[in-house]
Amino acid sequence: MIKDRGQKLINIESILARIAQRDYTVGVVGLGYVGLPLALVFAEKGFDALGFDIDEMKIEKLHSGKSYIKYISGERIKKAVYSGNFSATTDFSRIGETDAVIICVPTPLDKHWQPDLNYIIKTTESIAPYVRKNQLISLESTTYPGTTEEVMIPIIEKASGLTAGQDFMAAFSPEREDPNNPNFSTATIPKVVGGLDENSSRAACALYGEIIVRTVPVSSCRAAEATKLLENIFRSVNIALVNELKIIFTRMDIDIWEVIEAAKTKPFGYMPFYPGPGLGGHCIPIDPFYLTWKAKEFGQSTRFIELAGEINTFMPDYVMQQTIAALNDRGKALRGCRVLIVGLAYKSDIDDMRESPSLRLMELFKEKGASVDYYDPYIPVVPKIREYDEFIGKHSITLEQVSGYDVAVISTKHTEVDHTIFAKNCPLVIDTRNALGKGYENVLRA
């Protein structure tokens, strides 16, 4: 049940009326792969949307009508800016101009695999002095159950002197962005919403309901936080299962890809998941461990989550082992070899390389004495990233430079890339994504 937090001073009916009339300014903090498309949708639906980010480069590009995310076109940004409905700033004092503030910042793990809430904490500290009465504050960053009430709200209350549920509203609504998914976009993916209290829930559902096909209200912020974790834990565990089966079936000389294709013909009780070189993206490799950490507070262990994590984390090492074995069969040692990683993004057809297993593969091969390059048409140069500093600034090779490598490892399968080029120009190809299928003597599916 949504809590009753005492005397209600918020005029909820007036707020709902303003939302329905689009007389409501929405601030979106964090203009990355989640925040930018969300802000654009609000602007496209007739709301005034004000984006906030600490990166001045992003703000300059947006005001020039340029995009820094592959699947968001510059034309879409220009249209939003020129309509007058969208603008962006690094000035967090302008939070007071907004009626709702939606926080979309990263939630990584630290080097000890513990939740790192620094982005949430610093962002909340930045907005807190400017939060005013009747505002709605919605957190979208994936995190452990309790973060909204235990971390975000106390910071705001202390800095603003306001009380959540009486002076301002708060909610958690997990992002469900799937970059470049041709079937679903921000506006067409149902939105789970958990409010701090009844007014918060009504306001958040009304606001999201104006731009998204369907809102799914749940009983609390904690329930909404747990929903997002369940979604990603489900995927992590099943991907780990099929990765483990790939290793076992390979030893048995059974083609895992053939088995999956056969199994998915069953019209009920089965959902296909596919093996790969490891997990990437901001969600699946990270989010399950937020629950693992929180569960310890309640004296509980998360054995499935931790085992899945072990398997998925091991996959780059498995790919390297398979590569070493294949090279040995050809009378070559990995040390001194030229290795080409094909695909740096964490999944097909995007330019997002957060937590990409390709980076771990590059590191592993380099540690073993190989020289390592990469090819990815969507990532011409490695940008500033939180880890793997040694690769920052490294440039992608061109397809004209493919010949001369001892082995190419296909880590990401981009639709527009002709992977036969690598099979024709490299003496050995390690295919972790079944990009080439069967029929090549020099291709090992690993």
pLDDT tens, position by position, 300-314: 999 999 999 999 999
- Sheet containing 338-342: give its strands across: 371-375, 338-342, 407-410, 429-431, 443-445
Tell me the pLDDT band of 109, cut-offs 50, 70 and 90.
confident
Work out the pLDDT band at 177, boundaries 50, 70, 90.
confident
In the predicted model, what is the mean pLDDT of residues 382-405?
92
Tokens of 191: 């939105």
Which of 143, 103, 147 minimizes the C-alpha distance to 123? Answer: 103
pLDDT tens-digit readout, 196-227: 999 999 999 999 999 999 999 999 999 999 99
Pick the CATH number of 256-445 from 3.40.50.620, 1.25.40.20, 3.40.50.20, 3.40.50.720: 3.40.50.720
Beta strands in 177-286 (DSSP E): 191-195, 215-218
The pLDDT, as a whole number, for residue 87 is: 97
176-180, 329-333, 415-419: the lowest-pLDDT one: 176-180
DSSP 3-state of 381: strand
Please tell me which residue in 205, 221, 283, 337 is annotated as part of the active site.
Answer: 283
**Helix H segments across 385-438?**
420-425
Burial (Cβ within 10 Å: 0-12, 13-18, ≥19) of residue 412: buried
- DSSP-derived 3-state class of residue 370: coil
CB atoms within 10 A of CB 223: 15
* Cα distances (angstroms) measured from residue 415 to each of 221, 346, 412: 39, 14, 10
- Is residue 2 over pLDDT 80? no
User: CB neighbours of 275 closer than 8 A, spacing ≥ 6?
Assistant: 239, 242, 243, 245, 246, 256, 315, 432
Mean pLDDT, rounded, for 397-404: 95
Give the integer Cα–Cα distance in Å for 365 and 409. Answer: 11
Q: What is the pLDDT of residues 132-150, one digit of tens each?
A: 999 999 999 999 999 999 9
Average pLDDT value for the chain:
94
The fold of the 12-219 domain, in CATH, is Rossmann fold (3.40.50)
The CA-atom distances, in angstroms, between 410 and each of 20, 348, 376, 395, 438 are 49, 12, 11, 17, 14
User: What mean pLDDT comes out for the span 426-434?
Assistant: 97
Residue 86, SS3 per DSSP: strand
pLDDT band at 354 (very low <50, low <70, confident <90, very high): confident
Whether the per-residue pLDDT at 416 is higher than 90: the answer is yes
pLDDT band at residue 110, thresholds of 50, 70 and 90?
confident
Q: Within 10 Å of residue 276's Cβ, how many Cβ atoms? A: 24
* pLDDT value of position 287: 83
Q: Where are the domains of the chain?
A: 12-219, 256-445
Query: Tell me: the pLDDT tens digits for 50-90?
Result: 999 999 999 999 999 999 998 899 999 999 999 999 999 99
Q: What are the tokens at 288?
A: 């399950």
Helix (H, G, I), strand (E, B) or coil at 56: helix
* Tokens describing residue 362: 């590059």
The pLDDT of 373-402, averaged and rounded, is 93
Percent above pLDDT 90 for the chain: 89
pLDDT at 284 over 90: no
* Structural contact between residues 324 and 334, judged by C-beta atoms closer than 8 angstroms: yes
Q: Do domains 12-219 and 256-445 have the same CATH topology?
A: yes
Q: Is a pLDDT exceeding 60 seen at residue 104? A: yes
CA atoms within 13 A on the CB side of 390: 10
Q: How far out from the chain centre does Cα 403 lie?
A: 34
Which of 25-29, 108-112, 216-220, 423-427 is least confident? 108-112
Q: Above 60 in pLDDT, residue 231? A: yes
Q: Is the pLDDT of residue 423 over 90?
A: yes
Mean pLDDT of 179-197: 92
Q: Is the pLDDT of residue 282 over 90?
A: no
Task: Please state the rounded mean pLDDT for residues 269-275.
Answer: 96
Sign of CA dihedral 54, 55, 56, 62: negative
* 280, pLDDT greater than 90: no
- Which residue is it, tokens 């091969």? 365
Mean pLDDT of 348-364: 93
The yes-or-no answer on residue 283 being catalytic is: yes
Q: For the chain, how many residues are written?
A: 446
Please tell me the least confidently modeled range out of 32-36, 211-215, 258-262, 382-386: 382-386
Q: Are the C-beta atoms of residues 95 and 78 closer than 8 Å to each other?
A: no
Structure tokens at 393: 């600034």
pLDDT at 343 over 70: yes
Q: How confident is the model at residue 285 (pLDDT cuts 50, 70, 90)?
A: confident
Q: Is the pLDDT of residue 119 over 60?
A: yes
pLDDT, residue 180, reads 78
- What is the model's pLDDT at position 4? 55
